[in-house]
Structure 1
Amino acid sequence: MARKPTPSLRRYTSLPVVIDMLMNERITLVSPSAWVDANDRKAMAVYQEHLGHGFVGAVCLTEAPETFHHWQVFAGGSAGVCVHFDKARFCAMFEGRPNCLIGPVDYVRIADIATIDASDIHRLPFMKRAGFRDEAEFRAIAVGGDEDDVIHIPLDRAAVSRITFSPTIPPVLVDTARRLLHQLPGWEKLRIVQSRLTDSVSWQRALEKYPARHAGGTGRAEKKSG
């Protein structure tokens, strides 16, 4: 079943990648050879070999709301960052380029992969096992020659809506990184925040009020009769 389209995309990555993106105003597509999922690597390798491309690069995003899974798997450690893109503007950077494809990933059950419609070879880089469905991945790929080890796509500044730092990074380090990014020419007004996923004031305040609401406003737990 096709998932509902969203107006935005998130790219969970690292601070060095974000610095390169903003400073050089480019999206960098890299080889999938280091991806953890061997099934995904195989799909890309088969696609590259079948069409005779010297290089296939990719950048992976998600249409899903913020989840702890995304932070831990794709932006873990002390430099985790999420880049928020306007989806229409992001896609426009790739559309019309003869060496690029972009679109949502299709999640397929292992029982179906051997018989699924294979008439479109370009579907191959956009298929993953159904167990990854919750990632709601959206992917862009580009092909190049044997001399390529990455492929750069010019960045539309207006496509970047904000930057969010991982909730596990000490706030003092986020403040330093924010000042650094705001010093980059053209990015002085970029919205840069830190995720509150694991430390939400509003959530914790609601928890504090929970017992009183449970006990009808008395603040006391109900006692069981002996």
Structure 2
Amino acid sequence: MQAMNNQKTEKLNRFTQFPNLVELLLSKKLVFSDPSHWEDQNDIASIKFYETQKHCKLRLLCFCQAEETLHHWKTYAAGPYGCCIEFDKLTLLQDFQKFSNVLTQEVTYKRIKDLSTQGNTIKIDQYPFLKRKPYECDSEFRIIWRKTDAVDNEPTEVDLNLNCINRITLNSQIPTIFVHLLKKLIKDSNLEINVNISTIYKNTTWINKLKNLNHPPIDTCT
């Protein structure tokens, strides 16, 4: 595995949907995605250029190193069935060390003007880990699988040690029955994974503290 890791965080968050989460837990596999279907055409362009130059195809796993924000939920885990899987970074990356065709690295964020002033210093190997500045809030980390002899549409899957999952956070609007089903699946699988409900839309502690703040009396008009 070729790695250029910055260990500033000990966790990797993957925002996804509940059906994908269940499939991951049942299959014990991580599925790399085909970037050609992404919405960000700028990202696709840099990956395609790398593929052309290196004569290969890339499949990616994308993670967020930043704390959860409304942007992450709205963009990557929209709707009541959105969820966030928190992985232990070191444990997860150790599982990929046996693969020589896997690349791992944090994403670097550049402005358009940076390409003009720094273009000659940006190497081709950096292209799959290069994004525009507006995405910097993601603090993204990527695991990339380089395919040189496989069929383009063949899914790339790797076995996953589920013990590298620290916690799962669900959208606060998910029906309660799915919370119970998830906890039962985790228990039946003899796993120790915390299941939380996101408080990004409603945090009871925040609300109660606001209510209990001491304010001077307000004069009322009579």
Displacement of 1:117 in angstroms is 4.4
Residue matched to 2:172: 167
Q: Matches of residues 69-218 of structure 1 in structure 2 within 5 Å?
A: 69-114=71-116, 115-118=118-121, 120-144=123-147, 145-148=149-152, 149-183=154-188, 185-187=189-191, 189-210=192-213, 213-215=214-216
Unaligned runs of 5+ in 1: none
The TM-score, its normalising length taken from structure 2, stands at 0.87
CA RMSD across the alignment? 2.2
Residue matched to 1:10: 13
Amino acid at match of 2:67: P
Q: Structure 2: how far apart are the matches of 1:52 and 1:170?
A: 46
Check the 8 A contact 1:93/1:153 in 2, yes or no. Answer: no
Check the 8 A contact 1:95/1:101 in 2, yes or no. Answer: no
The TM-score, its normalising length taken from structure 1, stands at 0.85
Residue matched to 1:28: 31
Check the 8 A contact 1:56/1:142 in 2, yes or no. Answer: yes
How big is each residue's C-alpha offset from its partner over 1:167-211, in whole Å with a ceiling of 9 and x where there is no partner? 33244442334334544x343x3222211221111111011123x
How big is each residue's C-alpha offset from its partner over 1:27-83, in whole Å with a ceiling of 9 and x where there is no partner? 110101121111001111111121111x31001111101111101100012321111
Aligned residue pair count:
213
Amino acid at match of 1:81: C
Tell me: CA distance 1:221–1:29, structure 2 relative to 1, closer, same or farther (3 Å): same
Unaligned runs of 5+ in 2: 1-5
Q: Structure 1: how far apart are the matches of 2:12 and 2:50?
A: 25
Residue matched to 2:3: none
Amino acid at match of 2:46: A
Check the 8 A contact 1:19/1:181 in 2, yes or no. Answer: no
Tell me: CA distance 1:182–1:79, structure 2 relative to 1, closer, same or farther (3 Å): farther
Q: Structure 1: how far apart are the matches of 2:121 and 2:145?
A: 20
SS of the aligned residue for 2:62 comes to strand
Check the 8 A contact 2:80/2:172 in 1, yes or no. Answer: no
Tell me: CA distance 1:104–1:223, structure 2 relative to 1, closer, same or farther (3 Å): farther
Tell me: CA distance 1:214–1:43, structure 2 relative to 1, closer, same or farther (3 Å): same
User: Identity, % of aligned pairs?
Assistant: 27
